[in-house]
Amino acid sequence: MHNVAVKSKEVTLLEILDRILNKGVVVSGDIVISVADVDLIYLGLKVLLSSVETMEQLRGAPIVGPMQEPT
């Protein structure tokens, strides 16, 4: 189901990841990053993508929102 639109374009998961992990609307302070204790994310592409720094950056940001996911 998920693949229909995505596969129709000649793109890869890497291209998607590059965009959705770091670009677009980043509403700091209100967001909750629920990926905790994940140092390396294995994406099944034989690539270990070290995005922990990004996650840490966001997790370290002051959270003024009403909710925080358990870590």
Partner 1 sequence: MRLYTYGIIDSSNQVNEPIYGLEGACVYNIPYCDIGAVVSELKEPVQNVTRSSVLAHEEVIERLMEYFTVLPVKFHTVFDGRDGVLSMMQSYYKDFKNNLDRLRNKVEFGIKVIWPADKVKKRIMNSQKKNEREMPVPAGSSNKKFIRKKFEEYKTNKEFEEKANKFINVMDIFFSKFAAEKKLKKLKTENLLLDAVYLVEKDKQDDFKEAFEHIKGPHTSFKFLFSGPWPAYNFVILPKNSDLLKDSKQEDLFDKVVQHQELVGADKI
From the list 8, 7, 67, 3, the residue with the least C-alpha distance to 33 is: 67
Note whether 40 binds partner 1 by CB under 8 A. no
CA dist 6 and 13 (Å) reads 9
Note whether 60 binds partner 1 by CB under 8 A. no
Q: CB 33 → partner 1: shortest distance, Å?
A: 6
Note whether 63 binds partner 1 by CB under 8 A. no
CA dist 58 and 55 (Å) reads 5
Q: Which residues bind partner 1 (CB under 8 A)?
A: 1-6, 9-28, 30-36, 38, 41, 43-47, 49-51, 53-54, 57-58, 61, 65-67, 69-70
